[in-house]
């Protein structure tokens, strides 16, 4: 995660022709269900002057946007940021989460066991920031299913990432009539700049808000960042709605 090439905010552009394949559900808000918790965790301290040397305003915006969209989809959302976003706090929650969003530094980190795993850094309110490894999450979740997992960090969308499986999501893509279940994982490749990520994420959440399937939302967001260096990838079910639960259906009016 890099703080960003601070490009000026743009007005929302016209949504692409992909929107024709979305359901007409504009603004639909599902009631929050305590049975389906989700965590939104944002490392804000790492992008503040105390650690970075200057102020990066994007993490706060990302935090608010992710919380709002998960809540609209029907999850019971808990936010973790600042000193409250610690390795211990996150691992205590993750066993019960159905969905998860994090914005932080991410990489393929060396663990004390001598092996490398995908992961991201806690906030903890200081610049020390321990790594939360995929194997830590996997141990807590023990194969539990996830719905919508968004890892807003560098490197965790690369082909060697070990985070999807930690959240119970296989690294395969189901298009058309294929179906991997109600799951979708998205993250970035290589060095990702906060300014570009913010554009991608606004477009992704906006597309979900009007009723797009997660795969369509991804394609729309990717079209926004095409002129920039940001790269991303996804795994899961293209036609997943993003809504919570083990039997959440396809958004399948146009499954072809």
Tell me, yes or no, whether 8 lies in a domain: no
What pLDDT does residue 252 have? 64
Query: Left (φ > 0), alpha (ψ -120 to 50) or beta: where does 92 sit?
Result: alpha
Tell me, yes or no, whether 188 lies in a domain: yes
Asked if 79 and 119 count as a contact pair (C-beta separation under 8 A), the reply is no
Distance CA 39, CA 65 (A): 13
Tell me, yes or no, whether 11 lies in a domain: no
Give the Å distances, CA to CA, from 17 to 174, 187, 223: 21, 24, 11
**Number of domains the chain contains:** 1
Asked if 38 and 66 count as a contact pair (C-beta separation under 8 A), the reply is no
Distance CA 167, CA 162 (A): 9
What pLDDT does residue 33 have? 74
Tell me, yes or no, whether 3 lies in a domain: no
Geometric angle at alpha carbon 108, from 103 and 112, rounded to 5°: 110
Nearest of 191, 189, 43 to residue 120 by alpha carbon: 43
DSSP state of 178: -
Length of the chain in terms of residues written: 256
Report the CATH number at residue 189: 3.40.50.1460
- Other C-beta atoms lying within 10 Å of the C-beta of residue 217: 27
Tokens linked to 174: 């189901």
Tokens linked to 33: 């269900």
Give pLDDT < 50 ranges for the chain. Answer: 1, 3-27
pTM (2 d.p.): 0.88
Note down the domain range covering 202.
31-237
Cα Rg of the chain, angstroms:
17
Tell me the CB-side half-sphere exposure of residue 52, using CA atoms within 13 A.
Answer: 19
Tell me, yes or no, whether 229 lies in a domain: yes
Tell me, yes or no, whether 1 lies in a domain: no
Tell me, yes or no, whether 243 lies in a domain: no
Tell me, yes or no, whether 39 lies in a domain: yes
> Which residues on adjacent β-strands are paired with residue 40?
79, 101
Distance CA 86, CA 42 (A): 10
């Amino acid at each position: 995660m890099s703080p960003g090439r601070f490009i000026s905010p743009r007005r929302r552009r016209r949504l692409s022709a992909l929107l024709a394949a979305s359901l007409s559900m504009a603004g639909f808000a599902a009631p929050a269900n305590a049975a389906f918790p989700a965590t939104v965790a944002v490392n804000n301290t790492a992008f503040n002057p105390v650690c970075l040397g200057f102020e990066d305003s994007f993490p706060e915006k990302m935090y608010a946007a992710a919380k709002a969209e998960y809540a609209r989809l029907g999850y019971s959302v808990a936010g973790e940021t600042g000193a409250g976003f610690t390795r211990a706090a996150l691992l205590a929650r993750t066993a019960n989460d159905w969905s998860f969003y994090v914005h932080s530094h991410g990489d393929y980190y060396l663990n004390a066991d001598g092996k490398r795993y995908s992961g991201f850094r806690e906030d903890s309110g200081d610049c020390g920031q321990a790594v939360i490894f995929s194997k830590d999450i996997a141990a807590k979740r023990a194969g539990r299913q996830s719905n919508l997992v968004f890892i807003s960090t560098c490197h965790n969308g690369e082909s060697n990432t070990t985070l999807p499986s930690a959240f119970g999501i296989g690294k395969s893509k189901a298009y058309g009539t294929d179906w991997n279940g109600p799951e979708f994982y998205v993250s970035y490749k290589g060095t990702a700049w906060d300014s570009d990520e913010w554009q991608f994420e606004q477009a992704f959440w906006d597309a979900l808000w009007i009723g797009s399937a997660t795969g369509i939302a991804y394609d729309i967001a990717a079209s926004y960042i095409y002129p920039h260096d940001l790269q991303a990838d996804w795994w899961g079910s293209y036609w997943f709605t993003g809504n919570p639960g083990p039997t959440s259906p396809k958004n399948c009016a146009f499954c072809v």
